[in-house]
């Protein structure tokens, strides 16, 4: 057994070196082949070293394993086990329900990052940002196959071109004015979210460390909402400060949104009114220009 | 870089092997150095990934953060590091000697001191950041860290600061020390690669040194290819053993190189001034240890105006003293001054040991010596001179013409009517004189910190670490 | 056909990004680099084909960290950024309008950027922060598209470029090399936005030479903003771009049939015989310096060439200056050994070298 392990380790080292050499020469085809061999070798090594004998049933059936974003490569047995340990097994509340819960609390279009934070802080949520990337597309597909078949849909916020806004989620049951975004809306929505989080936190008995931390992060970016002092922010003060800044922007934002909502209702069909005017394919098109790196 | 060193680099290039630019070793090498090779996570300021360290070349300790983005694991790693470094440091506190001082109480000085050896300057810089990110932590409160972490931070900060102090050997940077003693046939930039530099010194240039698959970088940054192809999958696998083994492959080659570098340095005879500078290091170390014991606060984030000026002045004096000492200790360093005309060497062709000046009670012994030299002397008559051969003596240049230099010995002759045997260079002896001397102007007159002018921010407030310091995220 | 296009031949043009443009100024004396960049040659591909792949690479950890930090700064309508701009520049509370230019398809983004910027200058629309605008810059007759992962914002009618970098500022200090690189890159965006304003008939100086550099502070993820004056970088960049439009003099010195064409096959991989390409590249004189090792894809090829020529450039500028500009290793050592006579003008350095050689021998034997 240990001889086999030694051989395998040698083989794994060789393969790793081979992959890196190929990558340095930008020879992606060779690298891909070698990587596949490497994974096989690593899987075998894992199986041997954990003393489970030949690889048979290992970890939960593939169907139960939450899908990871992006990585096309098969995940290895050990990782399956790890995922199961994290408690991602059967969920009582689905991803879309958790997102809906968070959005209902926030009551304004929000980015995945904020939705996840709210869900974690107040609903013991287990969602992670990558799980939200495909959500909107799934919702759209569902809506197209049986319109209004569900009590609500998670959909896109619409830009001033009535196209879906990058990264902003809304709920279909909200009025159109809330589901569109003008130039001032991101700020107004941020302040609204902060206000809602503060109110929610203020209404809870006892303290909630995750909630305090979230509110502190938001309060930092609102003038007068909290000194830079450590310690939990005062929800009342955050509400007050958010309201104060909201008064500066509300009139113009409300006007912009009303106009946009009117355009959306008159120009868009049901699908586009919820999910945006541009087709999915144009949105997905990636730019061919180079990005400035960092 | 001097012309002499440039010439040595060209010679190295031509001969395919590094050339000596020193004849003695100018740093102290401890009998029990702590070799310390830290690695950090790419893209982060001070997120530790691993370190290989230890005082025994056959027993490296490998400390790894199996999930580098996990704050708790980072601090657990720092605690482990403290568990190795702090006891090492403290072993040197057991044995001390009492040192008497003029106008001050005697103090206890450690008879030996710890020595941290890092691969390169980036490693020293990372050590400084590790120190900065751990010394303000507190053991309780909302973001508690394990015991030993704040203390580790103070020591790492101290060692990083000493690395910048001219002539100090408490922290050695391997590439710098090797580069001070050998000239390779590559650029200074390429000398920062430890594998390449050691290869130049031992067997000649080798492009393998630049191949991360053969010689992984000596840290703290890891090879991007390694990150992508080995480390990322290992971290994702959540297997601590796999991460550990992956990082071992990156550290083990450097570990061997570090001991090779120490061997190379140990192979040189120690310069005469090294022991004296190490004594200053021991005093500094004892002072730091006393501060820690007495419960002093951690080093401030930044110096106040006066402290900064005083530090700068101290460093400048140390640099000047270090330069002079090395020249006195090492004819090859002195040669640089001979090349520029600030020193000369040659054979004594004539002397007048009994020459005197003045009359009666003020009559003084002022022996004259004539030296024949091939060096281009660019010193004016009257220039004060010193000599490595008779360090207690001072001399003065009388004249220099046609390769013949006349000097007059003005200091260190004693009160006798005739010179003590051996105190005046004999005809036929080889001697060297230089205008470099290590009697420097005293420290600049700086006000006390309490009297810092408002233009420089006023008197500094005593540094009290705040909760904010302790709670700073380490993300 | 344009002579530069001929140099590139059938190889697709490599678009310049801001970092590449900023790097143009790194070694202005190098004709090889000026010509290859001017012609839009993919130097990385050329170096690989020549058997001297560039030693650069970015760790996936660094990329992830960079993206996460940028997302943090821009989250919730740039809430963090607005806080910093209010603190740093006194941006009024009412100035919060946010435009995500990336909401339009890639092919429309430059036009959309133009429209938005024009409307902002004419004060027809609220416009404070522009996320992911797309600028253009003319490089030796070719249009380079620049997509700053940066935001331009305006205050009191003046635009500022915001550059988001994930290297840390610790106790008020950051890695000077990283700051310098960020400043050079930001200068490219300043120049591009000034060009856009000029095209639209507005005053280009509405774009400030002070850029806002956003970095994480200390060891937390909390962003902090600093103003950086990029006038010097702008001047260097302008000079280098002007130089690139006047490549004629360099081109005149080249053989007529010289080309850097990689002759890509159907799979895009180069098919040109390596020796032939190497000869062609050597046809344009390089000026290798050790600094190239961190800035130019061709560095290993040029270093190898310098080694074969025994050039003292290998050792760096300091050494070369110290040697009074004597370029070849053999020549220097010959002068030092006395086996070679000093040419006119070399008397002084020859005397120094002979002296240095004598002293080294004396001390080492």
Give domain status of residue C229, yes or no: yes
- Among C119-133, C149-163, C198-212, the range of highest mean pLDDT: C198-212
Q: What is the pLDDT of residues A236-262, one digit of tens each?
A: 999 999 999 999 999 999 999 999 999
What residues of C are in contact with residue B14 (Cβ under 8 Å)?
329-330, 333
CA distance A131 to chain B (A): 18
pLDDT of residue A190: 97
For residues A35 and A31, give the distance between their C-alpha atoms in angstroms, rounded to a whole number: 6
pLDDT band of residue A61 (cuts 50, 70, 90) is very low
Q: Do A163 and C104 touch (CB under 8 A)?
A: yes
Class of the domain covering B331-434:
mainly beta
Q: Check pLDDT > 90 for residue A54.
A: no
Tokens of C286: 């390089």
For residues C239 and C250, give the distance between their C-alpha atoms in angstroms, rounded to a whole number: 16
Q: Rounded to whole angstroms, what are the CA distances from A107 to A118, A240, A260?
A: 12, 18, 19
Q: Check pLDDT > 80 for residue B314.
A: yes
Q: Check pLDDT > 50 for residue A280.
A: no
For residues A240 and A55, give the distance between their C-alpha atoms in angstroms, rounded to a whole number: 61
Q: Check pLDDT > 90 for residue C359.
A: yes
Give domain status of residue C134, yes or no: yes
Higher-scoring residue by pLDDT: C266, A62: C266
Radius of gyration of chain A from Cα atoms?
A: 24
pLDDT of residue A229: 57
Closest residue on chain B to C352 (Cα):
B339
Q: Do C333 and B14 touch (CB under 8 A)?
A: yes
CA distance C330 to chain A (A): 35
pLDDT band of residue C325 (cuts 50, 70, 90) is confident
What residues of A are in contact with residue C125 (Cβ under 8 Å)?
183
The distance of Cα A189 from the centroid of its chain, to the nearest Å, equals 18
- Count how many domains chain C has: 2
pLDDT of residue C148: 79
Instruction: Identify which of C58, C220, C356 has the shortest CB distance to residue B4.
Output: C356
Q: Do C48 and A294 touch (CB under 8 A)?
A: no
DSSP conformation class of B386: B
Q: What is the pLDDT of residues A117-136, one digit of tens each?
A: 999 999 988 888 878 878 88
Q: List, in order, residues 6 or more apart from A278 with CB less than 8 Å away.
A: A161, A163, A164, C105
Terminal-residue alpha carbon distance, chain A: 47
For residues B426 and B430, give the distance between their C-alpha atoms in angstroms, rounded to a whole number: 9
Q: Which helix (H) or strand (E) holds B64?
A: strand B61-64
For residues B438 and B194, give the distance between their C-alpha atoms in angstroms, rounded to a whole number: 33
Q: Do A20 and B471 touch (CB under 8 A)?
A: no
Segment B318-334 shows an average pLDDT of 94
A71: helix, strand or coil? coil
Cα dihedral value A200, A202, A208, A213, nearest 10? 80
Q: Do C61 and B43 touch (CB under 8 A)?
A: yes
Q: What are phi and psi of B303, to 5 degrees?
A: -70, 150
Of C209, C241, C273, the residue at which a domain comes to its end is: C241
How many CA atoms are closer than 13 Å to the CA of B108, on its beta-carbon side?
A: 10
Segment B375-393 shows an average pLDDT of 92
Q: Where are the beta strands (DSSP E) in C266-316?
A: none
Q: Do C80 and A221 touch (CB under 8 A)?
A: yes
For residues A152 and A104, give the distance between their C-alpha atoms in angstroms, rounded to a whole number: 11
Segment C273-289 shows an average pLDDT of 92
Give domain status of residue C266, yes or no: no
pLDDT of residue B191: 95
Residue appearing with tokens 């080292």? A13
DSSP conformation class of B352: E
* Residue C364 in contact with partner chain B when CB distance is under 8 A: yes
Q: Rounded to whole angstroms, what are the CA distances from A78 to A60, B244, B246, B405, C15?
A: 11, 16, 17, 82, 43
Higher-scoring residue by pLDDT: A81, A37: A37
DSSP letters spanning C96-163: --EEEGGGS-HHHHHHHHHHHHHHHHTTSS--SEEES--EEEEETTEEEEEB-SSEEEEETTEEEEEE
Q: What is the pLDDT of residues B228-257, one digit of tens each?
A: 999 999 999 889 999 999 999 999 999 999
What residues of B are in contact with residue C222 (Cβ under 8 Å)?
473
Tokens of B133: 């990110």
Tokens of C143: 């249009």
pLDDT of residue B144: 79
For residues B80 and B73, give the distance between their C-alpha atoms in angstroms, rounded to a whole number: 10
Nearest to B43 by CA among A38, C152, C70: C70
With helix as H, strand as E and coil as C, how does B246-302 read? HHHHHHHHHHHHHHHHHHHHHCCCECCCHHHHHHHHHHHHHHHHHHHHCCCCCCCCC
What residues of A are in contact with residue B237 (Cβ under 8 Å)?
76, 78-79, 82
| Mean model confidence pLDDT for chain A | 78
Nearest to B61 by CA among B217, B220, B252: B252
Tokens of C95: 């100035």
- Same domain? For C223 and C330 the reply is no
DSSP conformation class of A254: H
B121-134 and B149-163 helices, crossing angle to 10°: 140
Higher-scoring residue by pLDDT: C40, B351: B351
pLDDT band of residue C64 (cuts 50, 70, 90) is very high
DSSP conformation class of B453: -
- Please give the share of chain C, as a percent, with pLDDT higher than 70: 98
The ipTM estimated for the assembled molecules is 0.89
Higher-scoring residue by pLDDT: B145, B424: B424
Q: Check pLDDT > 70 for residue B444.
A: no
Q: Check pLDDT > 70 for residue B69.
A: yes
* Residue C82 in contact with partner chain A when CB distance is under 8 A: yes
Chain C residues 154-193 with a CB less than 8 Å from chain B: 166-168, 170-172
* Residue A217 in contact with partner chain B when CB distance is under 8 A: no
Q: Do A292 and C150 touch (CB under 8 A)?
A: yes
Q: What is the pLDDT of residues B273-288, one digit of tens each?
A: 999 999 999 999 999 9
Q: Check pLDDT > 60 for residue A55.
A: no
CA distance A289 to chain B (A): 24
Domain chopping of chain A, boundaries:
1-52, 95-280
For residues A246 and A254, give the distance between their C-alpha atoms in angstroms, rounded to a whole number: 11
Q: Are C326 and C332 in contact (CB under 8 A)?
A: yes
Q: What is the pLDDT of residues A66-118, one digit of tens each?
A: 333 333 333 333 333 333 334 444 456 788 899 999 999 999 999 999 999 99
Q: Give strand pairing partners of B298.
A: none
pLDDT of residue B419: 86
pLDDT of residue B465: 52
CA distance A78 to chain B (A): 6
Residue appearing with tokens 């090395």? B326
Structural domain span for residue C329: 310-365
Buried b (16+ CB within 10 A) or exposed e, C292-316: bbebbbbbbbbbbbbbeebbbbbbb
Higher-scoring residue by pLDDT: C141, B205: B205
Domain chopping of chain B, boundaries:
3-304, 331-434
For residues A217 and C364, give the distance between their C-alpha atoms in angstroms, rounded to a whole number: 66
């Amino acid at each position: 057994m240990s001889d086999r392990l030694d051989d395998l380790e040698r083989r794994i080292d060789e393969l790793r070196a081979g992959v890196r050499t190929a990558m340095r020469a930008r020879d992606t085809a060779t690298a891909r082949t070698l990587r596949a061999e490497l994974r096989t070798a690593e899987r075998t090594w894992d199986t041997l070293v954990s003393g489970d004998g030949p690889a048979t049933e290992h970890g939960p059936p593939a169907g139960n394993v939450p899908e990871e974003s992006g990585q096309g490569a098969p995940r290895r047995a050990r990782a399956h086990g790890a995922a199961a340990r994290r408690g991602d097994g059967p969920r009582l509340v689905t991803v879309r329900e958790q997102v809906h819960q968070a959005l209902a609390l926030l009551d304004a279009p929000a980015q995945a990052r904020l939705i996840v934070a709210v869900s974690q802080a107040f609903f013991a949520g287990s969602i992670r940002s990558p799980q939200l990337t495909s959500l909107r597309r799934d919702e759209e597909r569902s809506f197209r196959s049986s319109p209004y078949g569900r009590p609500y849909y998670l959909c896109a916020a619409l830009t001033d071109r009535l196209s879906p806004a990058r990264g902003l989620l809304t709920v279909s049951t909200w009025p159109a004015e809330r589901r569109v975004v003008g130039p001032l809306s991101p700020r107004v929505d941020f302040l609204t979210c902060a206000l809602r989080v503060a109110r929610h936190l203020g209404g809870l008995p006892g303290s909630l460390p995750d909630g305090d931390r979230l509110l502190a992060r938001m309060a930092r970016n609102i003038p007068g909402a909290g000194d830079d002092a450590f310690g939990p922010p005062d929800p009342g003060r955050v509400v007050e400060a958010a309201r104060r800044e909201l008064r500066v922007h509300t009139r113009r934002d409300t006007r912009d949104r009303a106009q946009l909502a009117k355009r959306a209702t008159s120009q868009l069909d049901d699908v586009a009114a919820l999910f945006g005017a541009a087709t999915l394919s144009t949105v997905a098109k990636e730019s061919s220009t180079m990005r400035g790196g960092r | 870089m001097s012309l002499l060193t440039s010439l040595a680099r060209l010679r190295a290039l031509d001969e395919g092997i590094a050339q000596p630019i020193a004849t003695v070793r100018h740093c102290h090498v401890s009998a029990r150095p702590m070799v310390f090779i830290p690695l950090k996570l790419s893209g982060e300021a001070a997120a530790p990934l691993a370190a290989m360290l230890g005082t025994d070349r056959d027993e490296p300790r490998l400390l790894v953060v199996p999930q580098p983005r996990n704050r708790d694991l980072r601090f657990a790693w720092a605690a482990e590091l403290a568990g190795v470094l702090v006891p090492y440091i403290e072993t040197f506190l057991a044995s001390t000697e009492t040192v008497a001082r003029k106008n001050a109480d005697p103090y206890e000085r450690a008879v030996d001191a710890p020595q941290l050896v890092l691969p390169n300057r980036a490693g020293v810089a990372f050590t400084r950041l590790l120190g900065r990110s751990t010394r303000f932590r507190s053991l309780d409160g909302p973001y508690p860290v394990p015991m030993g972490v704040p203390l580790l931070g103070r020591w790492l900060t101290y060692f990083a600061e000493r690395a910048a102090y001219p002539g100090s050997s408490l922290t050695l940077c391997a590439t710098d020390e090797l580069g001070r003693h050998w000239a390779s046939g590559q650029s200074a930039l390429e000398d920062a690669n430890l594998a390449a530099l050691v290869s130049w010194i031992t067997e000649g240039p080798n492009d393998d040194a630049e191949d991360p698959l053969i010689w992984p970088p000596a840290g703290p940054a890891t090879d991007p290819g390694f990150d992508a192809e080995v480390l990322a999958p290992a971290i994702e696998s959540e297997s601590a053993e796999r991460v550990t083994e992956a990082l071992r492959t990156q550290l083990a080659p450097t570990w061997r190189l570090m001991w090779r570098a120490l061997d190379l340095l140990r192979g040189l005879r120690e310069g005469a001034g090294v022991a004296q500078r190490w004594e200053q290091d021991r005093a500094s170390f004892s002072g730091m240890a006393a501060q820690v014991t007495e419960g002093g606060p951690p080093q401030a984030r930044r110096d106040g105006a006066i402290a900064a000026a005083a530090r700068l002045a101290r460093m400048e004096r140390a640099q000047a003293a270090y330069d002079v000492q090395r020249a006195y200790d090492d004819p090859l360093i002195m040669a640089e001054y001979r090349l520029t005309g600030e020193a000369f060497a040659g054979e004594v062709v004539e002397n007048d040991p009994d020459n005197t000046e003045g009359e009666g009670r003020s009559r003084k012994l002022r022996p004259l010596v004539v030296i024949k030299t091939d060096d281009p002397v660019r010193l004016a008559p009257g220039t004060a001179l010193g000599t490595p051969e008779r360090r207690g003596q001072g001399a003065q240049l009388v004249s220099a013409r046609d390769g013949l230099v006349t000097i007059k010995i003005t200091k260190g002759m004693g009160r006798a009517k005739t010179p003590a045997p051996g105190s005046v260079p004999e005809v036929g002896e080889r001697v060297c004189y230089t205008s470099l001397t290590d009697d420097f102007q005293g420290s600049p007159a700086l006000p006390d910190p309490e009297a810092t002018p408002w233009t420089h921010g006023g008197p500094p407030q005593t540094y009290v670490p705040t909760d904010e310091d302790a709670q700073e995220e380490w993300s | 056909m344009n002579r530069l296009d001929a140099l590139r031949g059938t190889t697709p043009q490599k678009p310049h990004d801001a970092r590449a443009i900023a790097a143009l100024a790194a070694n202005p004396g190098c004709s090889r680099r000026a010509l290859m960049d001017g012609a839009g040659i993919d130097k990385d591909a050329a170096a690989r084909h020549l058997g001297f792949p560039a030693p650069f690479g970015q760790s996936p950890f660094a990329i992830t960290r960079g993206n996460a930090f940028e997302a943090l700064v821009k989250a919730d309508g740039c809430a963090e950024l607005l806080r910093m701009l209010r603190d740093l520049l006194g941006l009024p509370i009412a100035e919060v309008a946010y435009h995500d230019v990336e909401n339009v398809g890639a092919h429309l983004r430059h036009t959309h950027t133009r429209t938005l910027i024009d409307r902002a200058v004419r004060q027809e629309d609220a416009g404070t922060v522009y996320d992911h605008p797309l600028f253009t810059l003319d490089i030796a007759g070719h249009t380079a598209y620049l997509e700053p992962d940066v935001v331009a914002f305006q205050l009191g009618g003046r635009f500022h470029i915001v550059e988001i970098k994930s290297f840390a500022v610790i106790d008020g200090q950051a890695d000077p090399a990283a700051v310098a690189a960020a400043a050079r890159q930001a200068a490219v965006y300043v120049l591009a936005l000034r060009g856009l304003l000029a095209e639209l008939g507005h005053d280009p100086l509405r774009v400030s030479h002070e850029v806002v550099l956003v970095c994480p502070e200390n060891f937390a993820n909390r962003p902090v903003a600093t103003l950086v004056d990029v006038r010097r970088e702008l001047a260097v960049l302008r000079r280098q771009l002007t130089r690139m439009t006047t490549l004629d003099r360099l081109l005149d010195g080249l053989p007529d049939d010289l080309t850097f064409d990689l002759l890509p096959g159907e799979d895009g991989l180069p098919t040109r015989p390596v020796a032939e390409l190497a000869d062609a590249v050597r046809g344009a004189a390089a000026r290798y310096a050790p600094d190239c090792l961190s800035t130019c894809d061709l560095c290993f090829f040029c270093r190898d060439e310098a080694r074969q020529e025994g050039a003292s450039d290998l050792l760096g500028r300091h050494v070369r200056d110290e040697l009074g500009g004597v370029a070849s290793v053999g020549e220097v050592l010959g002068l030092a050994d006395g086996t070679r006579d000093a040419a006119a003008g070399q008397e002084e350095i020859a005397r120094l070298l002979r002296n240095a050689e004598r002293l080294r021998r004396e001390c080492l034997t």
